[in-house]
Amino acid sequence: MYTVTSVNVNGLRAAAKKGFVEWLAGTSADVLCLQEVRAEPEQLPEEVREPEGWHVVYAPAAAKGRAGVSLFTRREPERVQVGFGSAEFDGSGRYVEVDLPGVVVAS
């Protein structure tokens, strides 16, 4: 069984400045679904982009500074899917999915 937490961060760079890393270190969640990340991974500080003890998958939006979702998982995903096979929507930064043992999680 997994504990899943979903958070609208309203910009992960801004959340990082307001204590995201400290909050992440204290959470008991096994999976964290983030919405409105609004950043490319390379724009994030390393401790946010690749936090110790977490596997992270990003689905940024093609439109810079807009949308974006990500999944942070304590276990390495068996499979990752960004988008859902629609050329019209896959670059919108609205869907990422991972397979973990016994469960599929999407944000």
Query: Residue 88 has what pLDDT?
Result: 84
pLDDT along the chain (107 residues), means of 10: 97 97 97 97 96 97 94 98 90 96 97
Domain that holds residue 66: 4-106
Closest Cα to residue 44, out of 16, 82, 73?
A: 16
Query: Residue 47 has what pLDDT?
Result: 96
**Is the torsion defined by CA of 104, 67, 55, 24 positive or negative?**
negative
Query: Residue 11 has what pLDDT?
Result: 97
CATH number at residue 52: 3.60.10.10
Structurally, the chain folds into a number of domains equal to 1
CB 72 within 8 A of CB 32: yes
